[in-house]
Structure 1
Amino acid sequence: MAGRGSRLRPHTLTVPKPLIPVAGKPIVHRLVSDIAKVLGEPIEEIAFILGDPAFFGDEVVESLQELAQDLGAKASIYRQDEPLGTGHAIMSAKPSLEGPAVIAYADTLIRADFDLDKDADSVIWVKQVDRPEAYGVVQLNEKKEIVELVEKPKKFVSDLAVIGIYYFKDVSVLRDELQFVLENDIMNGGEYQINDGIKRMMDKGMKFVTGKVDEWMDCGNKEVTVETNQRMLAFLEKDGERLISDSAKTENANIIEPCFIGENVVLKNTTVGPYVSVGADTVIENSTVKNSLIQSNSIIKNANLDNAMIGNHVRYNGNFETISIGDYSVLE
């Protein structure tokens, strides 16, 4: 989670992308909790790879330590000082790269039942996609084992896209191969990639298989983050999760579920939903809001919002519809 999330600006100018709440919970918290749930095995340690301490500061570290503690695990914090690729980022956590491990990129959400193939050296989770040429995909042999990783293939290889979640029976093997990649300056696109370590493992005859996810939800930019919020709310409603805080106050207000309504939210002369998340201590008056993400401590008045994303501590009074407003903005 070391990147700056430039595609999700302005929302990531003040908050790291993995800490942007979706359906009421930060992306990385939801991802780690979901992986822990579907693994069904005790987790000893969660290593978080962060970027610049000026951006990923003490508050971020404390939040991640609490996340790990809630899952009964030790939190280890590492820094990637330069944006030199996925392989370089993983090697920033070199002291933790031992034993069985899951590696995940913290800007994606999933719904899945993990079924680990204990005979495989690694599992790479994939999702069937309509446009494989836009993704990195896996190539399989007749045994359904992965024999190649192909980035944005011009000719059809498969329609199984790599989603950025990997399991290694012993991650120290990947560590040693990535060490070779770094020492020998093997770069693709000017960066050290996890794929180059994986390909070296494949060349040595190690067994890689696919894992399937039911849902793969991206949080790369504003449009897909709003869509992910919508899909996640639907899943949580189906799971029977309580999404509306008891401390929320309503006056002549209508909530069309599914919605997440945080603590001490005030809704007055307003219709909210469906598919709206509202962060704690936000006030919405004389408005209609649907299919939108509004974070905490904001004041929204006289709005007609659809497909909107609004940050923290925003003051907004107006009749625009599809908007994207970062933290501490004022439009009155």
Structure 2
Amino acid sequence: MGMMSSDERAVAVIMVGGPTKGTRFRPLSLNIPKPLFPLAGQAMVHHPISACKKIPNLAQIYLIGFYEEREFALYVSSISNELKVPIKYLKEDKPHGSAGGLYNFRDLILEDNPSHIFLLNCDVCCTFPLPEMLEAHKKYGGMGTILVIKVSPESADQFGELVADPNSNELLHYTEKPETFVSDRINCGVYVFTPEIFTAIQGVSTQRKDRANLRRQSSFEALQSATRSLPANFVRLDQDILSPLAGKKQLYIYETRDFWEQIKTPGMSLKCSGLYLSLFRYTSPHLLTEGDGSKSATILGDVYIHPSAKVHPTAKIGPNVSISANARIGAGVRLINCIVLDDVEIKV
């Protein structure tokens, strides 16, 4: 039988990191796992999850991280029910690197026999144009397609910079956080791969094992290079996969013209919450609160208020405010540019 397009299935993997990773996000990450911190009234990880819902023939979503299972159990079951997509949390026993983490759970990820595997990082904020990426990826016919964005040359060196062929969109060169300016196009941390990615990761592991055997003969050489002593199953997507495969007609780019930010610090979460709220105007206007006359609070700009929150009619809210479950906003309170967490009470 010929392959029909209806046989195509996709799975999505979202990297959520763990308590060791969220240190720059303190103090916000002290009492809530960073992926569950609310942006525009939805958990940070909700934004990539709901974007995955738009992938055609999506079989399953996996979240991979180091948090304890119980920290995610409730959230995962409620979001699965809400979006009607099977979602599983997979806990890593130890860090394997971004590609190694994927490879570690390859049997589960390949269980549904997917033709495409999406890989997303939880701590990026963007419009996640996944169906468009998939279309482009199929057209390119490579092993992987990377979401990229053009940034100011000054800020580019904090990220993975890349050079692509302007006609074919092939990835020609990739450097992670380069010392000198390479390009103003950066990696957004959102990918779509064919299952061949697992063969590529396995190749890196095998090379490492071979090197380790060689190293027994020469300890001098081992001292020369730090990367030589990485464990065989620790594989980084950027340095170990993207850089070596660049220029081999395997990897391509898809450029987003929308916004993109990385959510590393508490300050960034406010900016990203605002970006998502303004996106809701187009994608989910029903989530935004509209001021409706005398009986309710005055609403300015984009505001999200959880249905269980109580806001006094004399309060003035917005722009860029999101108010979480069971919050109480008292008389005469003025809120602007903020995220109010669950059960918080604000009075004048």
TM-score past 0.5 threshold: yes
Alignment-derived partner of residue 102 in structure 2: 90
Q: 2:339 aligns with which of 264, 285, 293?
A: 293
1:165 aligned onto 2:182: no
Post-superposition CA distance 1:57-88 (Å, at most 9, x none)? 1x513422443454444333321222342123
Work out whether residues 175 and 243 of structure 2, in 8 Å CA contact, stay in contact via their aligned partners in 1: no
Q: 2:147 aligns with which of 89, 114, 125?
A: 125
Work out whether residues 139 and 150 of structure 1, in 8 Å CA contact, stay in contact via their aligned partners in 2: no
Work out whether residues 43 and 71 of structure 1, in 8 Å CA contact, stay in contact via their aligned partners in 2: no
Alignment-derived partner of residue 50 in structure 1: 65
Work out whether residues 49 and 92 of structure 1, in 8 Å CA contact, stay in contact via their aligned partners in 2: no
Work out whether residues 273 and 290 of structure 1, in 8 Å CA contact, stay in contact via their aligned partners in 2: yes
Separation in 2, partners of 1:65, 1:179? 32
| 1:97 Cα deviation from its structure 2 partner | 3.9
1:13-32 to 2 correspondence within 5 Å? 13-32=30-49
1:217 aligned onto 2:217: no
More helix by share: 2
**AA matched with 1:242:** H
Post-superposition CA distance 1:257-280 (Å, at most 9, x none)? 310011232223422111100011
Change (3 A) 1:24 1:189: farther
Alignment-derived partner of residue 311 in structure 2: 267
Work out whether residues 100 and 236 of structure 2, in 8 Å CA contact, stay in contact via their aligned partners in 1: yes
RMSD after superposition: 2.8
SS of structure 1 residue aligned to 2:17: coil
Separation in 2, partners of 1:292, 1:188? 46
Work out whether residues 112 and 215 of structure 1, in 8 Å CA contact, stay in contact via their aligned partners in 2: no
Separation in 1, partners of 2:197, 2:44? 26
Post-superposition CA distance 1:139-161 (Å, at most 9, x none)? 22464310222112233322111
Q: Which has the larger radius of gyration?
A: 2
Separation in 2, partners of 1:112, 1:177? 25
| 1:201 Cα deviation from its structure 2 partner | 4.4
| Unaligned stretches of 5+ residues in structure 2 | 1-15, 212-226
Change (3 A) 1:61 1:241: same
1:165-314 to 2 correspondence within 5 Å? 165-168=190-193, 170-171=194-195, 173-183=196-206, 184=208, 187=227, 192-195=235-238, 196-202=240-246, 205-213=248-256, 214-239=258-283, 241-244=285-288, 253-268=297-312, 269-285=314-330, 286-302=332-348
Change (3 A) 1:36 1:244: closer
**AA matched with 2:276:** M
Change (3 A) 1:239 1:46: closer
**AA matched with 1:101:** I
Work out whether residues 2 and 79 of structure 1, in 8 Å CA contact, stay in contact via their aligned partners in 2: no
Separation in 2, partners of 1:244, 1:210? 33
Separation in 1, partners of 2:93, 2:228? 19
Post-superposition CA distance 1:15-58 (Å, at most 9, x none)? 21111111111111111212332x3x1101111112142xx41x
Higher relative contact order (CA 8 A, sep 6+): 2
Q: 1:138 aligns with which of 158, 162, 175?
A: 162
SS of structure 2 residue aligned to 1:44: strand
Identity over aligned pairs, percent: 21
Separation in 2, partners of 1:201, 1:252? 57
More strand by share: 1
Post-superposition CA distance 1:88-129 (Å, at most 9, x none)? 322232213433110011111222542423123211001111
Alignment-derived partner of residue 311 in structure 1: none
**AA matched with 2:50:** S
| 1:206 Cα deviation from its structure 2 partner | 4.2
Q: 2:121 aligns with which of 105, 109, 116?
A: 105
SS of structure 1 residue aligned to 2:31: coil
Separation in 2, partners of 1:87, 1:237? 35
Change (3 A) 1:78 1:239: closer
- Residue correspondences, number: 292
Change (3 A) 1:275 1:52: closer
Separation in 2, partners of 1:188, 1:260? 50
1:144-155 to 2 correspondence within 5 Å? 144-155=169-180
**AA matched with 1:138:** L
